Amino acid sequence: MNPSDAHAVRRIVESSGFFLPHEIEIAEELVRERLARGTGSGYHFVFADRGGDTVGYSCFGPICCTQWSFDLYWIAVRDACRGGGIGRRILLESEERIRAAGGRRVYIETSSRDLYLPTRRFYLRCGYEVEAIVEEF
């Protein structure tokens, strides 16, 4: 990771049209946290590059007080690059790294708003199951 990754993450999440300004700040802050604290931050990243340009990423980490559970905090692909399998490849690589770290379960939270329907469908196509629905999340 390097400092330019924070800007790349900002560009990716801004392009989606899904996230509010404070959420975009959080996505960028997690990169800075990882750069400052290393693996001690608890944040791990996978980046997808195309022609030297970062077009997608994920951020995941272990869930405190559990032995084998991880959260997938973020996964996003630049809007113009969606639909080509980049997100699926990022997710597969993230899962592989989680397994290598001893992870056995991955939890993903996403919004129940209609805007996120394609996101929820993506997770279902990738083999994830709905465990709970929090209305208006």
- pLDDT of 135 > 90? The answer is no
Average pLDDT, the chain: 95
User: CA-to-CA distance for 9 and 12, rounded, in angstroms?
Assistant: 5
Name the nearest CA neighbour of 95 among 52, 128, 124. Answer: 128
Average pLDDT over residues 126-133: 93
Percent with pLDDT over 90 in the chain:
89
Average pLDDT over residues 30-50: 97
Q: How confident is the model at residue 113 (pLDDT cuts 50, 70, 90)?
A: confident
pTM beyond 0.75: the answer is: yes
Amino acid type, 16: S
Structural domain boundaries of the chain? 4-109
Query: Regarding the domain delimited by 4-109, which CATH topology (the fold level of the hierarchy) does it fall under?
Result: Aminopeptidase (3.40.630)
User: CA-to-CA distance for 19 and 56, rounded, in angstroms?
Assistant: 15
Residue 133, number of CB atoms within 10 A of its CB? 8
- pLDDT of 136 > 80? The answer is no
Measured CA angle at 30 (ends 25, 32), to 5 deg = 95
Name the nearest CA neighbour of 75 among 97, 117, 40, 47. Answer: 47
For residue 117, the SS3 value is: helix
pLDDT in tens, 8-36: 999 999 999 889 999 999 999 999 999 99
Can you give the pLDDT at residue 133? Answer: 86
Name the nearest CA neighbour of 107 among 117, 92, 95. Answer: 95
Average pLDDT over residues 26-51: 97
Can you give the pLDDT at residue 50? Answer: 93
